[in-house]
Structure 1
């Protein structure tokens, strides 16, 4: 199985988009909404989208594994954003032009400070040594996850940096429908991007854990493949997302053979999340976290809690709970 593309930049819509005169559901303060038309993006056609691998777009927060202080390390997504003065100028431009394109930034003065450890994402363009923002006014980047940083406490809960392990959700190799929760060496995830999902992430659409016993895990981008995906056709995708049990997803990301990525998001089609069970949350899961990890404090460590469930099988991902 070939390794699919990592997500370092914003992924383009698989359809040509247009601007509608209504407040965005996705971006606070944006006075317009970007929606898909029925025309396939020419760039997607050039990348042979009909032969691409269709994968589930997960509703979480993006992470990245790369070196930090000489060891594989989990990094959280942190975009460098405009300061208040520049943001006001940018939104005024957006409102009058109904577009972000053509706005001129002062890259030396318009952006907030970021931590010294911050690094820009791959493929961010630079001018005179300064990273340049994307069309939305953000400079995508990463910051290393540290245990004492409360802002990234849920990121920190899925890794043990001392042992170099991460708690990962992935399909079982011998059963295409069943998922498994495993402890994976960070060294095996280097240069991959992953999605952090769970109890305290984006409203927990997958129903993982509870407030008393939160559950979080990492999912490598591209690993949850869509079985029998619909063709890249506007009407058929709309119908699939609304009517099919497999379509109870946030969206689809297509991984093309040339490395290009394209997506469709429910917001592009003006669709809301379906109520109730999601496709991912309904899949069976087995816990395969080595019991030798029981050396941890089970009351505080997520890896240790899962080691106590080693070998357990649950009929649905959203049913995973720890023994009292």
Structure 2
């Protein structure tokens, strides 16, 4: 049986990282950036990462399936990190600029963060102080909000779930042939406590080229469900070559899933100063799925 995971926190890089004194490619106001070294993270070595299951890191938006309103009624939840307000963000960036690190920065957890909907819940393993969730090293408090049909902000999330029939549209390996992918309806109860990636036409610039403006295509993919057939060893140079030269390396990154369902990953940004990957492809993604999906989506929404 395939091992699936639950991604509630930021995934650490499989390599140790270092700070470089150069303009950040992600943040215009940041005059330094964090990049990967060639040294494997000791945490990954302790987890025996070479024996872990290598899966594809997907480029979408994170979702979560759990109960809502105190009932055993599975719901799809969208990722919503609680972020600092403008004043706190300014203090935080100033501290980062002067210290080249965020370690040692002190937050006022009651006043420094933007309000979130009453239905918001913090992600698992978020630390608390006096009943208040604490931010991570990036100044964010990871969390979730339920996807409800009347919320236009999450309309693309809503398009892949039907609460009347309690099912969702999921892209996953075919039960009879794991080298092929299929899109099918899956009961939400089967997805309980899993995290998934929402991918499609209107998510993150649609790196997979799914659908079109006239016929948008969206689906969920369980984290850890799309594996990499012949992954390279956890070696910096071999991974660089794999990303650049191997057709299977046209992915956003690799997530290694260990036996205890903990993750360590090569993130795209960690190798960005060496690599450029113009187009991502889902491993073994057959074109016929798109036609099947359009019909399936129409049928589900018409129920």
The farther-off stretch of 141-150 and 20-29 is 20-29
Q: 1:258 aligns with which of 252, 260, 267?
A: 260
Shift of 1:287: 5.1
Matches of 1:177 and 1:26, distance apart in 2:
35
> Could you say which residue in structure 1 is the equivalent of 2:107?
105
1:129 and 2:131 matched: yes
Shift of 1:83: 0.6
Q: Do the aligned residues in 1 keep the contact of 2:226 with 2:283 (CA within 8 Å)?
A: no
Matches of 1:223 and 1:28, distance apart in 2:
35
> Could you say which residue in structure 2 is the equivalent of 1:274?
277
CA 1:224–1:290: 2 relative to 1, 3 Å = closer
SS across alignment from 2:184: strand
Runs (4+) of structure 1 exceeding 4 A deviation are 285-291, 305-308
Query: With structure 2 as the length reference, what TM-score do the two structures score?
Result: 0.93
Shift of 1:267: 1.3
For residues 149-188 of structure 1, what are the structure 2 equivalents within 5 Å? 149-188=151-190
Shift of 1:31: 3.0
CA 1:245–1:288: 2 relative to 1, 3 Å = closer
For residues 12-91 of structure 1, what are the structure 2 equivalents within 5 Å? 12-27=12-27, 29-69=29-69, 70=71, 71-91=73-93
Shift of 1:176: 2.6
Q: Do the aligned residues in 2 keep the contact of 1:180 with 1:288 (CA within 8 Å)?
A: no
CA 1:246–1:31: 2 relative to 1, 3 Å = same
Matches of 1:51 and 1:216, distance apart in 2:
33
SS across alignment from 1:217: strand
CA 1:285–1:22: 2 relative to 1, 3 Å = same
Matches of 1:220 and 1:254, distance apart in 2:
14
Unaligned runs of 5+ in 1: 292-297, 309-324
Unaligned runs of 5+ in 2: none
Shift of 1:24: 2.5
CA 1:246–1:263: 2 relative to 1, 3 Å = same
SS across alignment from 2:39: strand
SS across alignment from 1:67: strand
Matches of 2:216 and 2:68, distance apart in 1:
27
> Could you say which residue in structure 2 is the equivalent of 1:4?
4
Q: CA RMSD in A?
A: 2.3
